[in-house]
């Protein structure tokens, strides 16, 4: 796998993981009984802890990417293992004749 492809795939893992991690530990002004700034939305987080979430996102996506890269290298699960995506074997779609 080329470095550009690996970087793009890691970025996809990182972005998806970030959106999964963002809601954890967030408390709104109402939940924290804090004073709201005039014009602030009531659901705005009091302390979003972005640094901690970025660190967790990097760690978790690194683990996911390492598993993906190991599977790519050693071929534990390939497309032919997915039942509806077979390209070879007894259940592969038959190309049209004629």
Q: What is the pLDDT of residues 48-93, one digit of tens each?
A: 899 999 999 999 999 999 999 999 999 888 877 777 776 666 666 6
Query: In angstroms, rounded to a whole number, what is the distance separating the alpha carbons of residues 68 and 81?
Result: 16
Residue 39 — pLDDT band, cuts 50, 70, 90?
confident
Residue 28 has pLDDT above 70, yes or no: yes
- Supply the pLDDT for residue 6: 95
* Contact yes or no for 21/57 (Cβ under 8 A): yes
Q: Is 12 exposed, middle or buried (0-12, 13-18, 19+ CB in 10 A)?
A: middle
Q: Which residues have CB under 8 Å from 43's CB, separation 6+?
A: 28, 30
* Contact yes or no for 11/61 (Cβ under 8 A): no
* Contact yes or no for 47/24 (Cβ under 8 A): no
């Amino acid at each position: 796998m080329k470095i550009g492809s690996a970087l793009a795939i890691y970025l996809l893992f990182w972005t998806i993981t970030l959106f999964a991690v963002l809601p954890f530990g967030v408390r709104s002004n109402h939940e924290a009984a804090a004073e709201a700034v005039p014009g602030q939305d009531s659901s705005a987080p009091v302390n979003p802890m972005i640094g901690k979430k970025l660190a967790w996102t990097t760690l978790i996506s690194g683990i996911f990417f390492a598993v993906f890269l190991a599977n790519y290298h050693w071929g534990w699960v390939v497309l032919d293992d997915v039942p509806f995506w077979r390209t070879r074997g007894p259940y592969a779609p038959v190309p049209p004749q004629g």
